[in-house]
A and B are shown apart, each in its own frame.
Chain A
Amino acid sequence: MQVRRGPATVTGEQRALTKPLIVRIGKASVAARSQETPRVRATNSDPRSKGLVAARADTAHSVHGPPSPGRVPVPRFRPPPLLLPSLVLALIGAAACRDRRPETPLASAGGRSATSPRRIVSLSPATTEMLFALGVGARVVGRTRWDSYPDAARAVPDLGDGLRPNVEAVLAARPDLVILYETADNRDAEERLHAAGVRTLSLRIDRIEDFARAMRVLGDATGTASRATLVVDSVTATLERVSRATAALPRVRVFWHVWDNPVFTIGGGSYLSQLVDIAGGRNVYGELAASSPQVTLEDVVRRQPDAILAGPVGALSLRNSPAWHAVGAVRWGHILIVDTNLVGRPSVRLGEAAVSLAALLHPPPRRRGVLP
């Protein structure tokens, strides 16, 4: 089955362009992050991080659509008990498909061929963000319970989990296109949806490059191809600016905490490892090809990371775990708390995520009075 391309997409795209983009890569979010940094003792708190200030200035200009300086666009994450931050959703399945070769097509489409879809169910937070960024949010009739961005997405009916989704609930939303996270766990759901005559699109985003391709696929599928290019270009530009700004800074060697027992981390196969590089850090497990490999605590100690990146829940559990105090960075309190809702989705806010990571790894000098 082919994702449809054609003239119809042009009109759709033009219509969509009249609305403002919802990609927020704003000053406000960086400010919000950097105000929080005093709470976190980072490894590298020397004033050499001027580059970040530059990055902030750059990104402030790269905002498409009206910036919203008065408010923090990042939804506050309130961790439910025992729930791992939804960051992991993006990582799950990676383990199941570790042997995936790079030439595997990023997206696979199946089901009945159709005209531009009117009712879309998006079963991963990242693709939901993308659809809203493409201006077709109004066509989204179902999402997972983890989708929280943009705010408008919350108004879309919640259909449960994105892994092994509830096919009945999805069909009840009468979709003409279902976007699935591509993993072995979802193959069964995909087949059932095909059997029910619903078109599906399975997307998998491990690396930043995958994001760009996913955007193009979604743009083609929804008739918003040129808008997709625009969004990708803007994200790429932001990432490049952050990368340039941190290029001269000393690399902070970080361990990205996903789960503590068994120990799961981020490997080089994940966009998060790329984000760490862009933000002026170096993932101590960057050389592993898997996106979320299982490692051992002993080996983490051996690699002696300067800092730990963790979600709020993970950070708490690390601080409370005596075993983890064998890791120097934990002992010294070098646990940097990442905004898992922002960073955990390889989507249109990748640039924003890179900025927030850069602010964590290279906090600005604490001269707030001097800064504008």
Chain B
Amino acid sequence: MIRHLFWIGTALALVALVIAAVAFGAVPIPLGSVVDGLAGHGDPAAVAIIRELRLPRVALALLVGAGLGMAGAALQGSLRNPLAEPYLLGVSGGAAVGAVIATTAGLGGAATLPLAAFAGAALATGAALLVARAAGGHADNRVLLMAGVMIGAFANAAIMVALSGAPAESVRGALWWMMGSVADASWPSVAWLGAYTLAAGIALLALAREIDVLALGAEPASGLGLDAARAGRRIFLLSSLLAAATVASAGLVGFVGLVVPHVVRGAGVRRHRPLIAGCALAGATLVVGADLAARVLRPPGELPLGAVTAMIGVPFFLVQLRRLS
């Protein structure tokens, strides 16, 4: 029963938030003009604001939330770790380093930035896995989480070093980006992230049964005929790439991947195929809502999206931590 409520409720909430996010923004536009703007006629400024700024922004927020939600669910399940998520595992940090290095090297174009983020995320992923393996293999996933947190800290430091020569104003821009933002959304970035999220999402859904089995532990998984090490790597890489894609287009949006799977599991969705799909839905809802809040809470300026998600995520993380110990 609660499960049906979850699906219907979340879907309705997403639709309502998407409508609200298109209707409300920095510039007040009457509802009639919003509809006209969607249709492409009326005041050209309203048309541009609706079609070129708000729609891609809402679409990007939706994709970022879906991607992070799915990555979080897949990482938590496959690592058997309720605190796992791309941001805490250093995956997002690695992606950010790749992106910042690309920007400082003058390769910050729409085409090269995502690739650089992938490279950074892959390196961070590889480093975290190597450290965890050297420290005793897959038996203890806390090692992996600690390695990830350390790599995230290192990534932060690396970004600070890369930015140390930059003037304060550009540091402010970079910090803003590190706090996550979908303000820069455009249709090309939406299309690009959409393609990636779709591909990686479908792959994760196909592997959802493997995640169910991995969540039992490496030995039981082997007993069920799963090559646990290989499956774990595959899912870790897919999740990392999903996270890197969101970082490349929206910066560091933390804690979505942590909060969303817990909420969806709490609604009674336990197996990973519906769980991953549910996390895509709930993550999209959360980030569209968080971005709406970021836009309207402190006019005329904006809050960084990552700050809003962290405000929600950090208390949640602490509660989870308390429950674990």
A residues sitting closer than 8 Å to B (CB atoms) are: 80-84, 86, 88-89, 91-92, 146, 163, 258-264, 293-299, 301-302, 304, 320-323, 325-328
Contact = CB atoms under 8 A, between A and B. Distances in A.
B53 interface: yes
24 contacts: A81-B106, A82-B103, A82-B104, A82-B163, A83-B165, A84-B169, A84-B170, A86-B167, A88-B169, A89-B167, A89-B169, A259-B172, A261-B177, A264-B169, A294-B300, A296-B25, A296-B27, A297-B26, A299-B26, A299-B27, A302-B45, A322-B188, A323-B184, A326-B53
B183 interface: yes
Interface residues of B, number: 42
B220 to A, nearest CB: 47
B110 interface: yes
Nearest to B107: A81
B184 A259 contact: no
Nearest to B299: A296
B140 interface: no
B186 A84 contact: no
B5 interface: no
A305 to B, nearest CB: 11
Contact of B54 (A259, A261, A298): A298
A328 B110 CA distance: 21
The 3 lowest CB-CB distance pairs between A and B, nearest first, are A322-B186, A326-B52, A296-B26
Contacts of A298: 25-27, 49, 53-54
Given A261-B184, A297-B183, A302-B49, A81 B300 contact: no
Interface of B: 25-27, 44-45, 48-49, 52-54, 56, 103-106, 108-110, 163, 165-170, 172-174, 176-177, 181, 183-189, 295, 300-302
B147 to A, nearest CB: 29
A83 B53 contact: no
Given A82-B103, A163-B168, A326-B48, A259 B302 contact: no
Contacts of B302: 262, 294, 296
Contact of A321 (B25, B166, B173, B186): B186
B52 A323 contact: yes
Nearest to B52: A326
Contact of B170 (A82, A296, A322): A82
Chain B interface, DSSP helix/strand/loop, else mixed:
helix
A372 to B, nearest CB: 40
A86 B48 CA distance: 32
Contact of A325 (B52, B104, B105, B169): B52
A297 B301 CA distance: 10
A258 B169 contact: yes
A339 to B, nearest CB: 17
Contacts of B170: 82-84, 88, 259
A301 B53 contact: yes
B184 A83 contact: no
B169 A296 contact: no
A91 B169 contact: yes
Contacts of A88: 167-170
Nearest to B295: A296
A321 to B, nearest CB: 7
A31 B171 CA distance: 35
A302 B43 CA distance: 10
B49 A261 contact: no
A302 B104 contact: no
B25 A83 contact: no
Given A296-B300, A304-B45, A322-B188, A83 B167 contact: yes
A70 to B, nearest CB: 33
B190 to A, nearest CB: 10
B169 A92 contact: yes
A323 B53 contact: yes
Contacts of A325: 52, 186
